[in-house]
């Protein structure tokens, strides 16, 4: 599974953050490693420099093999919370998608 991490101009995408995100994804989604070809993480601060409630956004798009891509979005007050919320959501979506695929 290839992991690509993208940040907008308002989120610092330093190596430590990218390593942390890649490690969390590898741990949380380990059981989908052979079923998902690519995972894209997009981090953004929608309010730029202004303060706002739930203005950090994390979008995770997964590309499962032989299936349409699926994406989830989560908003929170910090980048880390937004990421973890989106990670929980994508895990649930992938669980559901693969369970439905098994049923057929």
CA angle 49, 73, 52 (to 5 degrees): 25
- Domain annotation for the chain: domains and CATH numbers: 2-103 (3.30.160.100)
Q: Write out pLDDT tens, residues 38-64.
A: 999 999 988 876 776 788 999 999 999
- pLDDT score recorded for residue 101: 81
Q: Write out pLDDT tens, residues 61-101.
A: 999 998 999 999 999 998 999 999 999 999 999 999 999 88
- What is the pTM assigned to this prediction? 0.90
Sheet strands (E) in the chain: 2-7, 36-45, 56-64, 70-76
Residue 32 confidence (pLDDT) above 80: yes
Q: How far is CA 13 from CA 6, 16, 23, in A?
A: 8, 8, 15
Q: Write out pLDDT tens, residues 7-21.
A: 888 787 788 989 999
d(C-alpha 31, C-alpha 98), whole Å: 11
Strands 70-76 and 2-7: unpaired
């Amino acid at each position: 599974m290839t992991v690509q991490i993208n940040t907008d101009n308002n989120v610092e995408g330093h190596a430590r953050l990218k390593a942390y995100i890649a490690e969390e994804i590898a741990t949380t989604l380990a059981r989908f490693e052979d079923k998902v070809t690519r995972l894209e993480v997009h981090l953004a601060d929608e309010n730029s420099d202004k303060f706002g409630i739930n203005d950090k956004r994390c979008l995770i798009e997964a590309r499962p093999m032989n299936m349409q891509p699926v994406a989830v979005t989560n908003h929170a007050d910090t980048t880390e919370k937004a990421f973890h919320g989106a990670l929980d959501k994508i895990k649930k979506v992938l669980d559901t998608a693969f369970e439905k695929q098994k049923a057929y």
